[in-house]
Structure 1
Amino acid sequence: MLASIAYPHIDPVAFAIGPFAVRWYGLAYVAGFVLAALVLRELDRRWKVGLSTDDMLDIVLVAVVGLIAGARLGYVLFYGVGSYWSDPLSIFAFWDGGMSFHGGLVGILLAGAFIARRKDIPPLRLFDMGAVGAPIGLFFGRIGNFINGELWGRPTDVAWGMVFPRAPGDLPRHPSQLYEALLEGLVLFVVLWVLSRRKREDGFILGMMIGLYGVFRIFIEFFREPDVQLGFIAGGFTMGQVLSLPMVAAGAWLVIRALRHGRDAQDARDSGADGAGSGADVTE
């Protein structure tokens, strides 16, 4: 066997009270939403959006529903390949894993558009606020995947390869869940947090978030084992990479759009200032 480090066997169940079991994967989602809500509150204060406590609670609750529903349905549609038809009720067993980020993104954007309309907030502004906190949830979610021993990487001979108990072949593999937690979680959050230090044109932060996520995901998929149901679906590319390509394009479009709007707004302000100055000279 190739050299590897021991996979830390962690019970997926954090604790149980009678028949009720609380899993680390579920706690990861709770931690992600709580910390993302704190980020939302800080950005509301800094950007002077004017959200009340009730507004914040409504936004978070709607986001929870949109994300979980979208992530689970996305997994079923993109990766299930009809396997859930034999046991339809298992679609609702999201605590066992099987959540799609791409489906969750669609779900939370639809939920965000709904609540933004109800609260009379520009949708892109709300999306920007949520985008800063999103990598926190991604970080905890990938840690949950690692604890569950799922979404493992491809076989490798690197010194930090791990033998995942549920993976076939008893081979050391890339701990790709940790790669994703690092890039899609910590690195992405730091970049967006720095960018959010000053308010930018609506849509800029969202564009950076989905664009960078797409780039990171495409890169990490080269180390992650393709989903067993699908394998490689387009040459040497996986479903995760195919779904991430439109994200990179959409992110680039949003960033360019925001920069263009910012430049146009600055030109308008400069023109107004020049016009005011010219008028003053004529009056004198």
Structure 2
Amino acid sequence: MPLYVLPFPAFDPIAVQLGPLAIRWYALAYIAGILIGWWWVRRLIADDRPWGGRPRPNAPEIDDFVLWATLGIVLGGRIGYVLFYNPAHYLANPSEIVMVWKGGMAFHGGFLGSVAAMVLFARGRSFSFLTLFDLFAAAAPIGLFFGRLANFVNGELWGRTSDVAWAMVFPYAGPVARHPSQLYEAALEGVLLFAVLAVIVARTDVLRRPGLLAGLFATGYGLARIAAEFFREPDAQLGFLAGGVTMGQVLSLPMVAAGLALAIWAARRVPRSDPP
């Protein structure tokens, strides 16, 4: 343990208390991620130039999809956590499955729930599922950034023990100093991934190749999550798996593989060109 450690900020997880109603920072993080992501997607579809005539959702359709995406993220995230991270507990206590306010959301489950929402929403419309997937990919790092900040505010999903100068003693993780791995993930999965994808959108014809941006996002997120897991303490009920890997790394490997396959397939397709 280092001689000096940074104190964990004394955050109150409840942002606003209105009588019996408690509004938590975690809920506000989800709301902020969805609203800012919604704004960013509307900006992307408003500019005709990067699309080259490719059919895409209009603003009212994006407005409608926000509800679908929210349901996919919340339901998928909760079901994913129950199945991937703590199935034995919830099998013994099924009534707690719906208690999302107690915590327990899995990104990989929310990702799969969002994909299901996109498939259902795009059916019978003028644009393809991959078009919607590309737009989701462009905005998803925004939500990831706010979600990881909320994990830090809650003092949960802390890092492994460390003697780095910025190590912290988390209130629920014992007296040892640990990596603030939530902030690492906010930087990698949120800020860095968003910046990379935004530059690609601005400087290439990626939006004319359906599925390419989605594949790049899946690959980028998977690699960022695998790297961050080397600093994050695995969930207590799971611990380290065979070979010292974590569940987050195991779930991210197929995401990287599928993302690479989708990106390569999309990149090889002839891009849409502007109509004469």
Give me the TM-score of the superposition, normalised by structure 2: 0.92
CA contact (8 A) 2:56 2:127 kept: no
RMSD over aligned Cα, in angstroms?
A: 1.7
**Aligned: 1:182 with 2:222:** no
* Counterpart mapping for 1:104-253 below 5 A: 104-168=110-174, 170-197=175-202, 198=205, 199-253=207-261
**Per-residue displacement from partner, 1:22-71 (whole Å, max 9, x unpaired)?**
00000000000000101110111123645344312211110000111000
Amino acid in structure 2 at the alignment position of 1:12: P
Distance 1:58 1:167 in 2: 41
Distance 1:117 1:95 in 2: 33
Given the superposition, is the C-alpha separation of residues 92 and 24 from structure 1 closer, same or farther in structure 2, using an over 3 Å criterion?
same
> Hey, what does 1:258 align to over in structure 2?
266
Distance 1:111 1:39 in 2: 19
Amino acid in structure 2 at the alignment position of 1:174: H
Offset of 1:86 from its aligned partner? 3.5
> Hey, what does 2:27 align to over in structure 1?
26
**Aligned: 1:100 with 2:101:** no
* Counterpart mapping for 1:57-68 below 5 A: 57-68=63-74
Offset of 1:96 from its aligned partner? 2.9
**Per-residue displacement from partner, 1:65-123 (whole Å, max 9, x unpaired)?**
01110000000000013112333232222233211010011000000111011433211
Distance 1:158 1:31 in 2: 31
Range that drifts further, 77-86 or 101-110: 77-86
For structure 2, the 5+ residue unaligned runs are none
CA contact (8 A) 1:138 1:185 kept: yes
- Indicate the structure with greater helix content: 1
Distance 1:145 1:237 in 2: 22
Distance 2:258 2:139 in 1: 19
Distance 1:209 1:223 in 2: 22
Distance 1:202 1:130 in 2: 12
Distance 2:124 2:34 in 1: 21
Aligned with 1:216: secondary structure? helix
Distance 1:230 1:136 in 2: 28
For structure 1, the 5+ residue unaligned runs are 267-284
Amino acid in structure 2 at the alignment position of 1:186: V
Amino acid in structure 1 at the alignment position of 2:132: L
CA contact (8 A) 2:57 2:127 kept: no
> Hey, what does 1:11 align to over in structure 2?
12
**Per-residue displacement from partner, 1:104-151 (whole Å, max 9, x unpaired)?**
110000001110114332110110011000000000000010011100
Distance 2:124 2:35 in 1: 22
Amino acid in structure 2 at the alignment position of 1:172: A
CA contact (8 A) 1:14 1:24 kept: yes
**Per-residue displacement from partner, 1:166-218 (whole Å, max 9, x unpaired)?**
113x1000000000000000000011111112433011100110101111111
Which of 1 and 2 has higher RCO (CA within 8 Å, sep 6+)? 2
Amino acid in structure 2 at the alignment position of 1:235: G
> Hey, what does 2:79 align to over in structure 1?
73
Aligned with 2:15: secondary structure? strand
CA contact (8 A) 2:155 2:171 kept: yes
Offset of 1:232 from its aligned partner? 1.1
Amino-acid identity (%): 51
CA contact (8 A) 1:153 1:225 kept: yes
> Hey, what does 1:278 align to over in structure 2?
none
Structure (1 or 2) with the larger CA radius of gyration: 1
